[in-house]
Structure 1
């Protein structure tokens, strides 16, 4: 149980850190993230919690991929003049 708790806390911290660069702003990202975590805070089924952790890790990877794509497009625009 404590392992899942620490995994959830680490996931929350990771998502908060990634939210700093969110296009619509950090405050909106933080509010939505907090709302989702509070909504699921009463869950006690370990299998369901593990499923939600896996989904959260997937979301982290998706956000990282989104940021990498944004950086790639910026670099491409910067160095390859589109004519």
Structure 2
């Protein structure tokens, strides 16, 4: 893995770990699964495939952020609006 890819992968890993703190099933489960996925792909040397995997990881970050925002929106809506 070249140096630019290495730093991008490490930043992606740190970002996902940070987002995993609020994971509904718990941080430990999230961290274990994340580590497993990154270790599975750690031997990849093809730069194009690494770029594709980084793009997929960035997509996952956006999806997780969207889920968290939706969760917060629903909680706020329940507080301020009564269903009756």
TM range, normalised to the smaller chain? over 0.9
C-alpha RMSD of the superposition: 0.3
The aligned counterpart of 1:58 is 59
C-alpha distance in 2, partners of 1:81/1:3?
Answer: 51
Q: What pairs up with 1:1-83 in 2 under 5 angstroms?
A: 1-83=2-84
SS at match of 1:81: coil
Moved segments of 4+, more than 6 Å: none
What is the TM-score of this pair, normalised by structure 2?
0.98
SS in structure 1 opposite 2:43?
Answer: coil
Q: Distance in 2 between matches of 1:81 and 1:9?
A: 44
Please give the TM-score of this superposition, normalised by the length of structure 1: 0.99
Query: Aligned partners of 2:44, 2:3: CA distance in 1, in Å?
Result: 14
Rounded Cα–Cα distance in structure 1 between residues aligned with 2:79 and 2:4: 45
